[in-house]
Amino acid sequence: MAKASLSEVPVEPREDSAARKGLRLDLLKFVPFRLNRLAAEVSSALSVEYQERYGLDIPEWRVLATLGFRKDACSAQYIAHCTRTHKSTISRAVTSLMQRKLIERAENADDRREFRLQMTPKGKTLYEELIPQLLRREQEILSCLSPQERKDFAALLGKIEKSLDLVQTSREADAKEAY
């Protein structure tokens, strides 16, 4: 007996379906979509600062940025979790950054099977050159908001992050072993 393709399987609308209730999802008003689109645009706007001058792509920058805000070396798994970037993407970025001698492996004294990552002096120099440029660009992006709106926006983002149990400070990130 041949299997029916999905297009051949009749789909009966359920009584409580959105179509029956006359509901429609306006994607441009759907908050998860708006946040994702906004994040992609902001990330793209910031990437100009490090792509053109330093030849870094977004995942490579995420690795450097994560290492930059930490006091100690950390695992690639930590970086993937912290940045919400797929581990294979982080792995490729780590390989590229190691080839460019911007980061290096450091032994984990607690577990010799695991290695940690840290910036090299060359990586730290690049990171420190980039920070003022990125902060300036962030201010340009947020310039459409008043100082009070910026404060409110940061507080609202914090509330959403907290409701999703996301770490919000580098101190929290350092304190959480699993993060």
Decide: 66 and 82 in contact? Cβ < 8 Å.
Answer: yes
- Nearest to residue 167, comparing CAs of 74, 33, 31? 74
Confidence of residue 72 (pLDDT cuts 50, 70, 90): confident
User: For the residues 14-21, what does the mean pLDDT come to?
Assistant: 67
Decide: 154 and 161 in contact? Cβ < 8 Å.
Answer: no
Which contiguous run of DSSP H or E holds residue 18?
Answer: helix 18-21
CB 122: neighbour CB atoms within 10 A?
Answer: 13
* Out of 78-87, 124-133, 148-157, 163-172, least confident range: 163-172
Tokens of 159: 């509330």
Task: Please report, for residues 63, 65, 67, 79, 125, the alpha-carbon distance to residue 128 in angstroms, rounded to integers and kept in the order given.
Answer: 14, 10, 12, 19, 5
Which pLDDT belongs to residue 167? 75
Q: Where are the domains of the chain?
A: 28-137
Does the pLDDT of residue 79 top 50, yes or no?
Answer: yes
Domain 28-137 indexed as CATH 3.40.50.1820: no
Decide: 94 and 117 in contact? Cβ < 8 Å.
Answer: yes
Decide: 134 and 46 in contact? Cβ < 8 Å.
Answer: yes
Mean pLDDT of the chain: 86
- Give the percent of the chain with pLDDT over 70: 85
Which pLDDT belongs to residue 169? 76
Which contiguous run of DSSP H or E holds residue 106?
Answer: strand 103-107
Instruction: Indicate the residue type of 171.
Output: R
Decide: 80 and 90 in contact? Cβ < 8 Å.
Answer: yes
What does the buried/exposed string (b/e) look like for 3-17 if buried means 16 or more CB atoms within 10 Å of the residue's CB?
eeeeeeeeeeeeeee
Does the pLDDT of residue 1 top 60, yes or no?
Answer: no
Q: What is the pLDDT of residues 37-58, one digit of tens each?
A: 999 999 999 998 899 889 999 9
Which pLDDT belongs to residue 156? 95
What gap in Å lies between CA 7 and CA 174, rounded to an integer?
50
Phi-psi region of 139 (alpha: psi -120 to 50; beta: other; left: phi over 0): alpha
